[in-house]
Amino acid sequence: MSDLSHIDLNNVPEHVAIIMDGNGRWAKSHGEDRLFGHSKGVEAVRETLKTATELKVKYLTLYAFSTENWNRPQKEVEGLMNLLVHSLSNEVDEMNQNGVRLQAIGNINGLPGDCQDSLQNAIEKTKSNKEITLVLALNYSSKWEITEMVKTISKNLIQKEITENDITDELISNHLTTRGIPDPELLIRTSGERRVSNFLLWQIAYSEFVFLDIFWPDFGRKQFVGAIYDFQNRERRFGMVSEQINITE
């Protein structure tokens, strides 16, 4: 499904998050090495961003590199870091042309220096764009993010800058790396895996999940539009029953 005629553009999720999984397995199935799979994955990112913009999605968050990914073979990790630098350099002009604003979440200070420089350069050059915000989760894990949040709030409590009664859902959200970004209504994962892998655990409390049995390099417009169609045909109840939803509508 790539035709938008079945899509209600007034009911598109404001924020879509994607776990891009399966580059290595895709490469293996094509007789190539894992880095080739990652490079093909960049092409899928480009197509996905284009489709998200067309659908009027306002935030697209991509799980690009987790804290656990450092455990992969050194050659692959170095290749991924080089691919990140290369991709940011090559794509920034097109992002500006298409109104894409770049942001990043995660422990960015833990990335190699050249990656940090390329990332900050791209963020600075695209900061005024308003069509869509592309959020890259880099050196990210939700457990790390929540741990850092707890440390900060605990420190504020000890220093009496806040009281226990000040601790709310909103306060917690404002101390996460995603502060200022709405929670995703839709989470998509490729590769057939049915798990969230330490990704946005606080933020996806009410997200709809779509799991696809394809590897990330094969994800394109058809699959994205299909996931949006799936989302639009679900009933999001937020703890209520169907009758209550119908009354509020």
Domain of 232, in residue numbers? 4-141+183-248
Residue 37 domain-assigned?
yes
Active site residue 69: yes
Q: Do the Cβ atoms of 58 and 16 come closer than 8 Å?
A: no
Q: If 0-12 CB within 10 Å is exposed, 13-18 middle and 19+ buried, where does residue 193 land?
A: middle
Residue 72 domain-assigned?
yes
Residue 221 domain-assigned?
yes
* Number of residues written out for the chain: 249
Residue 155 domain-assigned?
no
The pTM assigned to this predicted structure is 0.93
> How many Å apart are CA 12 and CA 228, to the nearest integer?
7
Average pLDDT for runs of 10 along the chain of length 249: 84 98 98 97 98 98 98 97 97 97 98 98 98 99 98 98 98 98 99 98 98 98 97 76 54
Of 103, 105, 123, give the one whose Cα is nearest residue 67: 105
Active site residue 213: no
pLDDT of 246: 56
pLDDT of 1: 60
Write down the catalytic residue from 69, 107, 156, 198: 69
Write down the catalytic residue from 8, 10, 21, 233: 21
Q: Dihedral of CA 93/94/96/102: which sign?
A: negative
Residue 146 domain-assigned?
no
pLDDT of 235: 80
Number of domains in the chain: 1
pLDDT of 3: 76
Q: What CATH number does the domain containing 59 carry?
A: 3.40.1180.10
> How many Å apart are CA 60 and CA 132, to the nearest integer?
8
Q: Do the Cβ atoms of 226 and 220 come closer than 8 Å?
A: no
Residue 54 domain-assigned?
yes
Ramachandran area for residue 216 (φ above 0: left; ψ -120 to 50: alpha; else beta) = alpha
